[in-house]
A and B are shown apart, each in its own frame.
Chain A
Amino acid sequence: MSFLTEFPSMDPGNLRDLKKAIDGTFRDFTRANGEFIESLFDPLKWFLLWFERLLLATPWPLIIIIVCALAWLASRSWKLVAGTAIAFLVIGYLDMWEDTMVTMAMVSVATLLCIGFGIPIGVAMARSDRAQAIITPILDIMQTIPSFVYLIPVVMLLGIGKAPALIAVMIYAIPPIVRLTNLGIRLVQEDVLEAANSFGASYRQRLLGVQIPLALPNIFAGVNQTIMMALAMVVIAALIGGSGLGTPVLRAVNNQYLALGLFNGMAIVALAIIFDRVSQAYGKRLQKHREGGHGV
């Protein structure tokens, strides 16, 4: 009766062969195409390295001024600006400035790329139900698969370094912007679109003049989530060469350095809070004219 108590699993030999076959096929594929695929991602790597060097080369007072100015432009809140300035000063004082800049470069570049790829994908999904039916399950997989699992093929293909780390962060962080772009566009009121149509607007005019502007609050919620997820990925990305604030955290875990882990962890939290508040405040300001009103 062991049939019921023990699952009739595949023969161990066959199972080993299956795994071997998969590994072998992928390894062969990597050997054959690895270099070519790596070169595809070179522009991303250059962009990331360029931005990282820019942040590191810029004098720290200037960085703080720029970050505070951006926070002010986006949120118009003095409190937020003051909090941002203090957080950066403390980070610098605790000697985490360089790691923080590296992490900021990674998160900014990953977010920009996610926006650049994610919004068009979201637009395509909103335009066609078929595209939506195909892309939605892919996004589901990307969001639920444990990140360590897709690190394996990424590392096999691209090795250890900045580019694979960036790709890993992007895979993890892109779904929300795609989803919320799609959702935002689909939620645009039918009657406003019909009005645009009735005046002879083209697809482009509808998209750029009506759908995207009206979907912006949602798109921005997506950007916010994408930033948060990119930051959450920083420690894991450090495993495959992402460097930045994640590296000292990993070192702290391995060696039980409590203070080191705590400081760097808090720096990541501080960045997360700043990015979150600033982008949310901006998103809110985008909605200013849309809510309330007299109706009929």
Chain B
Amino acid sequence: MVSDYKVQIKNLYKIFGPDPKSMVSHVQQGMGKSDLLDQHGHVLGLNDINLDIPAKKVQVVMGLSGSGKSTLIRHINRLIEPTAGEVIVDGENVLEMNETALRNFRQKKASMVFQKFALMPHRTIAENAAYGLTVQNIPEDEAKERSQRWIDRVGLSGFENHYPAQLSGGMQQRVGLARALATDAEILLMDEAFSALDPLIRTDMQSVMLDLQEELHKTIIFITHDLDEALRIGDNIAILRDGRMVQAGTPQEIVLKPADDYVRDFIQDINRARVLQVGSMAHGKPPAKGPKIEKNVVVEEALQIISSAKAKTAIVTDKGKPVGSVTLDDMIAAIARPEPGDKGIETYR
């Protein structure tokens, strides 16, 4: 294996229109989405995307509607052909696969969950969940047997013989999840999988997914436009704007160092105490005494530790070894919402 990354996206461009190839050079010379549309009548879908996605982690892709999220995720299983660039999965270029190899890839390696569920209305829940296996020509009975486990796992036992239209949205998406899991693919592509659901059900589904992930360790690429969702489930977050990737990093990196005002707007209203870890604000020498807090503990928990110890200063540790100190004031300052346009966040470091 050449790299530790499960999926690598390199210099990916996607332009929609009658003659996309000839538009690449305009974009490479810096033409933006609106100019390309006004002057050449082409829609800029993706603009020079580079993203390395580690295995067994949840990579979130975020951005406003129309920023290119769906376009990007569909390049990974090549539901959309790029205008230029490479998509490499496990060291193999997806774009060079022939039809058989590509179908095999879609059947075994990457499965997808859709925003509008995209279940087959004429198939029962059991048949829907087994669809990915049926496509592999596994006999219907065996396919159903294998997918039953996932129907049970997502909590739909007893609904096997219902039809999708008889189920609520949340339950339909559980079917979508079971269908994607049933093929045992290592990569899960989720395009706004929970965006169509009511907030309570959405939180519910996030928990279902996090529980599953703890057990299964899939490489998940998760699209959302909801930052709270992104922060809750993402190990890494990439932010798209008008087809360009404006920032990629861990949730904490993005909150601490938003790349521009677009990102800053995104993180405006989040609960920073749940994202920032004490390690990011540790400074100076460890104090002689005080409660010990691991550096990857988020501020929300750290505040509880420090206040129940009735201390003002805590020892920040790295795998048990003291590395610095953090005070109550540090933490309170860190979680204060920054003024719009205020670049002062970096001063907390």
Is there contact, CB below 8 Å, between A289 and B104?
A: no
User: Distance in Å from the Cβ of B16 to the closest Cβ of chain A?
Assistant: 16
Does A35 reach chain B (CB closer than 8 Å)?
Answer: no
The total of Cβ contacts below 8 Å across the A-B interface reads 82
Is there contact, CB below 8 Å, between B135 and A214?
A: no
Count how many chain B residues have C-beta atoms less than 8 Å from C-beta atoms of the other chain.
Answer: 36
Does B319 reach chain A (CB closer than 8 Å)?
Answer: no
User: Distance in Å from the Cβ of B298 to the closest Cβ of chain A?
Assistant: 33
Does A67 reach chain B (CB closer than 8 Å)?
Answer: no
- Give A199 to B143 CA distance when docked, in angstroms: 14
Is there contact, CB below 8 Å, between A200 and B135?
A: yes
Does A272 reach chain B (CB closer than 8 Å)?
Answer: no
Give per-residue flags for A265-296: 1 if the beta carbon is below 8 A from chain B beta carbons, else 0: 00000000000000000000000011111111
User: Distance in Å from the Cβ of B181 to the closest Cβ of chain A?
Assistant: 12
Of the residues B112, B135, B166, contact of A201 by C-beta under 8 Å: B135
Residues of B194-250 at the interface with A, using a CB-CB cut-off of 8 Å, are 196-197
Is there contact, CB below 8 Å, between A194 and B121?
A: no
A199 with B169, Cβ < 8 A, contacts A194-B114, A214-B121 known: no
Question: CB-CB < 8 A to B118: which residues of A?
Answer: 189, 191-192, 194-195
- Give A194 to B108 CA distance when docked, in angstroms: 17
Of the residues B77, B119, B122, B169, contact of A198 by C-beta under 8 Å: B77
Question: CB-CB < 8 A to B13: which residues of A?
Answer: none
Of the residues B102, B108, B114, B167, contact of A191 by C-beta under 8 Å: B114
Q: Which A-chain residue is minimally distant from B128 (CB atoms)? A: A195
Give per-residue flags for B120-131: 1 if the beta carbon is below 8 A from chain A beta carbons, else 0: 111000000001
Of the residues B103, B111, B136, B197, contact of A296 by C-beta under 8 Å: B197
Question: CB-CB < 8 A to A194: which residues of B?
Answer: 79, 114, 118
Give per-residue flags for A170-195: 1 if the beta carbon is below 8 A from chain B beta carbons, else 0: 00000000000000000001011011
Residues of B163-180 at the interface with A, using a CB-CB cut-off of 8 Å, are 163-169, 172, 179
Give the top 9 A-B pairs by smallest Cβ distance, nearest first: A293-B165, A200-B106, A200-B107, A195-B118, A200-B103, A198-B112, A289-B163, A296-B169, A191-B118
